[in-house]
Structures are given as C-alpha cells and as structure tokens.
Chains A and B, each alone.
Chain A
Amino acid sequence: MIPPFLKNGDTVGIVCPAGFMPAERMIACINTLKSWGLRVKIGKTVGGISSNYFSGTDEERLYDLQDMLDDEDVHAILFGRGGYGLSRIIDQISFKRFRKTPKWILGYSDITLLHAHIYSNYEIATAHSPMAGAFIDAGPEDPYLNSIRNLLKGDRLSYSCEPHPFNRRGETEGLLMGGNLTLLAHSVGGSSDFKTKGLILFMEDIGEYLYNVDRMLYQLKGAGKFQKPAAIIIGSFTEMKDTERPFGKDAYEIIRDILSEFEYPVCYGFPVGHVKENYALKCGAEYKLKIGKERVLLEEA
C-alpha cells in the first residue's frame, strides 16, 4: 500500500525518536519544507531539555511519534536524525490509526527498524531518505534533497549512477527494501524481520569495524536473507574501522566475497547511505533495476 502523496499546504511533522538534536539544526529543514509549499509541525522531541544521548525519555519519544502517527492533520513524518533509540520504543507504538490512514515516514539509519517493521507487519510503503540535518549544508538545487520533494509530490522516481567494477550485471524487478546493515541484522529473528525473497534489497552502513560488517553479513546469509532476493544494491560503507591487525579486505570486497556464490544482479556504489549522495527511495514500492555496462538505473516500475 502506498500512502497518499502530499499537496500544497499539507503538513510534515518532524520528530526525533532516537538521538538528541538541537532545535537550531532544524531551521534549514523547516525553511526548505516551507519553500516547497508545505506546512511544518514540530514535535516536542525536537530540541527539548534532554541532557543525555536521547532526545527525550522513552515515553516522551514514544508519545511524540505516536501523536504524529495518529494526527490526521499530519500528512508525512520526517525524522530529525537517527542515532539509536527506536528499538526501545518500537514494540509500544500503536499502528492502528496509521494502518487506516497511512502517511509517508521519512528517514534512514536507525529509522531502518521502522521501515522494516512497517513493511514486515503492515506492507505499507515508507521513504528511506535524508533527514532534517541534511538540509543544513545543501543548496536549493541539491538533487538529493529534491528527491524527497519529488517523492512527496508523487513523482515516479528514477536514479542512475556509474557502474562499479564489482557489479554483476543484469535486469530485474521487485519491491525495494533495505537500509542500514546494522539495523537489518539487529531486526533478524524479531517482530520487525522481513523475508527477502524477490526483493531488490539495499544496504549501507557507517562507522562499523570491518570484521563486524563481515559478521553481520554472515548472520544475514545464515538467516537465508541472501538466498533469493531479485537483486542487491550496495550503497556507501563509510568510516569503516579496522582492527590493529588489518582485516585484509575493504567493505566492498567483503560483500563481493559473501555474495559470490549467488547469481542475481548486484551493484556497488549506489548513492544511498551516510553521505551527501543519498537519494530518497520508496521502501515497499515496485522498482526496475538495470545494472548495465555503462549505467546503473533504478526506476519505479
């Protein structure tokens, strides 16, 4: 199910269900959303008086998100930032009203858990996209921010990128789903776990040890997640850490080796992840993927 797209004058709610974010870091985002003809509703967890890692207590973060989910005058929810925190509240969130009147949920990183949960339990599309912080340094013409606007307007999304030497060429179609590798691994075996058969699965990560990336990929493999996807898209794996004795491979080499026994198409270096080049993607929507010799093209079917 695809939530309704936004019209001029519709409202975007902004909340921080995970890490703390000062209110001033939200200004650029608010101004840009307004310039797009949207209204903005700021949740109580934005700014706030929290003195620790989180943007508020579990209850505060839960109620803020719950209010936005239930408020019929809010047409989309954009997260301020990720960090860590959704795992602590996800099982208390009520999706009753959201299921009746779905709305776009936009974010990535820690928010992967919410995408996975909604996809797995309710089969409602969500948006894997940059969050409020990304608006600070981006100009009005920034194609990645504009991809959020295009998504909310209901445009048919189409992105292309340069081929990578590790790519396994091919053409396929399927529902797009994925996100942050750490959160995907974290959700395996619980109530936000999802089946990957037939999916175009995408993954990205930041700041993990290489051996840990390897371990998480072996977990996903052991859980059968790499058996039958239609294709896999690898985004950026940035700021990888290494042990004193080097692991001996970089993240892409680790991924290439683990996926070498399968035959479906795989592309590397897709513009999704903890980098500026991070396109808005509709999780749970049908896409076509062409991994060619000259170009990689991902477009909505």
Chain B
Amino acid sequence: MKRKRFLGSMLGAPLLAATTLTSQGSRAGNRSQTSWRIPPYLKPGDTIGITCPAGFMTLTEVQPAIKLLQDWGFKLRIGRTVGERDFIFGGRDTDRLSDLQEMLDDGSIGAIMCARGGYGCIRIIDQLDFRKFVAKPKWIIGFSDITVLHAHLNHNFQIASVHSKMCNSFPEYPDQTEKGQWDSISSIQLALTGKQIDYPVVYDPANRSGFGRGILTGGNLKTIETLAGTGSDMRTDGMILFLEDVGEYLYSVDRMFYNLKRTGKLENLSALLIGAFRVKPDDPGDEFGRSIYNMVQEQTAPYKYPVCFNFPVGHQKVNYALKCGVMHELNISEGRVIFKEV
C-alpha cells in the first residue's frame, strides 16, 4: 500500500516505466523466459568494450584482461575512462557517463565489461539513455557496484546481463592461477558465447532442500538495499535470487536482510542462493551473536523455497559468471546441489 503511495510520488518517466512493465515484472512472468530478452551471444571477432563506470583502473592494470579476452578471439574497445581518475572514480560523472553511453549506443560493440566495481554507478544511472540499447541489447558484464546496472535492467527492461568477475580479477600469469579463480574467469567466456556453465556447488548441511525454477537475479546485497524505492529497484517475484557482500558489519548485513524483507523481496522467490559474505569483524563489546546462516534461516523460515549456502559467487577467488535474466533451476536433494541454466 505504502509502495503504491511512493510510486505515485515519483516523477513521470520512471513511473511510466514502472507501470507499463508491471505485467512483465510479475511473478508469473519471472517463471518463464518469454518476457525476458537475451542479447545475442558473442562469436570470435566480436567486440567487447571496457569502461570504468565506477572505480578507477589504470591501463596497465587492465592488460591481463585485454590479453586473455583477445586470446578468446574478441576484439576490444578500450574506453576513455580506463586510466582516468577523479579521486576514487574512473573519471568525473560526465566522463564515466559519456564513455558508457557511447558503448551502449555503438552497434559494433557486442558486450561491455566494466573494468571494476568500487562505487559510482548510482551517480550516473538516471542520466543513461537506454533507448538504443533496448532496441539492440548487448551483454553488460560485472558485479559488486555494477549490481546497479543489473538491477536497472531487471527493473526497467527485462534484458539479461552477466554477473561476473571483471578486469581487475584477470590473472597476470594464468599458469600460476588457482583453479577456482581460473575456472571463474573461464566461465565468463562460456557465458558470453552461450555455452552451459558447470557450477561446482559444494553441499552445505544448512541448505534447505527443494526444487526451484525461475529467472535468475541478484548481486551485492548492500547495493540492492540502496536501490530500494528508486527507478532501479530490483524485482524478485518468482525469481531465483543470489546475494553476496563484503566488508560490512554483521549487524548491518542483518539490517539489509530486513530491508529485503520489508520491501517484499524475499516472499515470492523460487530459490535463494547465498554466496560469500566476508564480513567486517564485530567491534569489541558489540558482538552481534548471529551468523549469516542464522540471518538467512530466520528470514526464510516462513517460506518453502530451497536455500543454498556456499554458492560460488562473491568477492572471492571462486566467483562464477551468472546470467541474470535467464531461466535457471536449482535442485537440492539428498546431499546434492544442481544449479543450471535451462
């Protein structure tokens, strides 16, 4: 009821988007692929653009990613924001906005990889013009702060995108790289070329068994909380939701879960995937006394959908590419977890 009141107070454009797309964002719509669009998969020779919509990154730091993406057969377009810096940002808002805008509009670019996360997407999201992108979708790649872009596509356009590691995680020496990290990087290639990814999900005894099928969505929990009530508010009805976070206090993560609950994001899920939560240690005397497990079990107790802990996503070496906006299913039974695109 309050939500309606709030939507009514929003400005014309986002309101229009919100109302016209309600049916597509509905619970039923998110249990099938039909109302979601998948950008064309990439072939060798296609071009990937690299840009910094959030934090800064130097041209040197991007080299390992350039080399490997070229090894995969892709051409590259390096945005002007790579190597730019305005304090923590990869250039001023106007620079980051125009760089990303050009890549969204450029018909010869098939995918846009964000160089890294950090902070900054929310500062430019409302100025981006997605008209050409919607007419001719392409893959947007990244995670952490890039959750803003995934959520924006989820809320407004129902276009698939890739949640994955970014340029800052590409290894300089592939042969000296741990398998988990290497496989995670390789899964980006599989995602972009339309091949199935084999997700090695380790069974966790705290899992809640069951079967769930729905469009995949999710990302960084803090970022999802911060988008509540905006024109990029993530819709989760009928969907498989994955969550991860880093560097937050436990009490703050608990508050974020309450935000998800209070904005209705946990009640109609098809499944919930809990990735890595590398939390900040409690201050002495302020021991929170509750783990991420406790929080998730508490929040999901009223519902029946399957819950999977230890899912290979987050700010860690093992962070597999996930296709947001694409149908997946999760099956947890008899000590086994199967998660796959369907």
Query: Interface residues, chain A, CB within 8 Å of chain B?
Result: 19, 51-54, 83-84, 87-88, 91, 120-121, 185-193, 195, 197, 211-212, 214-216, 218-219, 222-224, 227, 243, 245-248
Known A-B contacts A91-B262, A218-B122; the reply to A186 vs B2 at CB < 8 A is no
Contact: A219 with B228, CB < 8 Å? yes
Q: Quick check: A53 and B287 within 8 Å, CB to CB?
A: yes
8 Å CB interface, B217-253 against A: 225-233, 251-252
The reply to whether B254 and A215 contact each other, CB–CB distance below 8 Å, is no
Closest Cβ–Cβ distance, residue B13 to chain A (whole Å): 12
Whether, in the assembled complex, B11 has its beta carbon less than 8 Å from a beta carbon of chain A, the answer is yes
Are the C-beta atoms of B287 and A188 separated by less than 8 Å? Answer: no
CA distance A218 to B255 in the complex (A): 19
Most buried by B among A19, A195, A222: A222
Chain B residues with CB under 8 Å of chain A are 1-3, 5-6, 9-11, 56, 86-88, 119, 122-123, 125-126, 225-233, 251-252, 254-255, 258-259, 262-263, 282, 286-290
Inter-subunit contact A189/B263 (CB<8 Å) = yes
Other-chain residue from B3, B252, B289 in contact with A189 (beta carbon distance below 8 A):
B3
Which residue of chain B has the shortest Cβ distance to A228 in the bound complex?
Answer: B9
| A121 contacts across to B, CB distance below 8 A | 2
| Distance between B88 CB and nearest chain A CB, rounded to angstroms | 5
Residue of B nearest to A121 (CB): B2
B254 and A84 within 8 A (CB): yes
Q: Are B255 and A87 in contact (CB under 8 A)?
A: yes
In the complex, which residues of chain B have a beta carbon less than 8 angstroms from the beta carbon of A215? 119, 122, 226
- Whether B288 lies near A222 (C-beta < 8 A) is no
Given A88-B258, A91-B262, A120-B2, check contact A219 B229 (CB 8 Å): yes
Compute how far the CA of A19 lies from the CA of B286 in the bound complex, rounded to whole angstroms.
9
Chain A residues whose C-beta falls within 8 Å of the C-beta of B263 in the assembled complex: 189-190
Cα A195 to Cα B251 in complex, Å, equals 27
A residues less than 8 Å from B88 (CB atoms): 211, 243, 245-248
Residues of B within 8 A of A83 (CB): 251, 286
Nearest Cβ on chain B to A123's Cβ, whole angstroms: 13
Inter-chain CA distance A52–B289, complex, in Å, is 6
Alpha-carbon gap, A222 to B231, bound state (A): 7
- Which one of A54, A190, A214, A246 lies within 8 Å of B259 (CB-CB)? A190
Contact check: which of A91, A188, A248 meets B87 at CB < 8 Å?
A248
Query: Which partner residue on chain A sits nearest B288 by CB separation?
Result: A53
Q: How far is the CB of A254 from chain B (nearest CB, A)?
A: 11
Q: Are A216 and B259 in contact (CB under 8 A)?
A: no
- Say whether B6 contacts A193, CB under 8 Å: yes
7 A-B pairs with least C-beta separation:
A52-B289, A222-B230, A248-B87, A189-B228, A190-B262, A188-B229, A189-B229
Q: In whole angstroms, how far apart are the Cα atoms of A208 and B279 in the complex?
A: 16
CB A243 to nearest CB in B, in angstroms, measures: 6
Give Cα A114 to B230, complex, Å: 22
Decide: B230 and A185 in contact? CB cutoff 8 A.
no
Once bound together, how far apart are the Cα atoms of A190 and B228, in whole Å?
8
Q: Identify which of A190, A192, A216, A227 contacts B226 (C-beta below 8 A).
A: A216
Chain A residues, Cβ within 8 Å of B123 = 214, 218
State the CA gap A211–B251 with chains docked (Å): 19
Given contacts A51-B289, A84-B255, A222-B126, contact A186 B230 (CB under 8 A): no
Minimum CB–CB distance from A91 to chain B (whole Å) comes to 7
A188 contact set on B, CB distance < 8 A: 6, 228-230
Asked whether A227 lies within 8 Å of B11 as measured between CB atoms, the reply is yes
Q: List 12 A-B contacts (CB under 8 A).
A: A52-B288, A53-B287, A53-B289, A84-B254, A87-B259, A87-B262, A189-B229, A189-B233, A190-B259, A195-B9, A222-B126, A223-B10
A120 to B258, CA, bound (A): 18
Which residue of the partner chain, among A53, A191, A248, contacts B286 with CB atoms under 8 Å?
Answer: A53
Which residues of chain A are near B11, meaning CB under 8 Å?
224, 227
A215, B5: Cα distance in complex, Å: 24
Please report the C-alpha to C-alpha distance between residue A187 and residue B289 in the assembled complex, in whole angstroms.
24
Task: Please determine whether A224 and B87 come into contact, CB atoms closer than 8 angstroms.
Answer: no
**Which B residues are CB-close (under 8 A) to A190?**
2, 228, 259, 262-263
Closest to A84 in B: B251
* Chain B residues whose CB sits within 8 angstroms of the CB of A19 once the complex forms: 286
Q: Which residues of B contact A88 (CB under 8 A)?
A: 254, 258
Q: How far is the CA of A27 from the CA of B10 in the complex (A)?
A: 47
What residues of chain B lie closer than 8 Å to A192, measured between beta carbons?
A: 2, 262
Query: Are the C-beta atoms of B288 and A87 separated by less than 8 Å?
Result: no
Task: Determine if A189 and B6 form an interchain contact, defined as CB atoms under 8 angstroms apart.
Answer: yes
B288 contacts across to A, CB distance below 8 A: 52-53
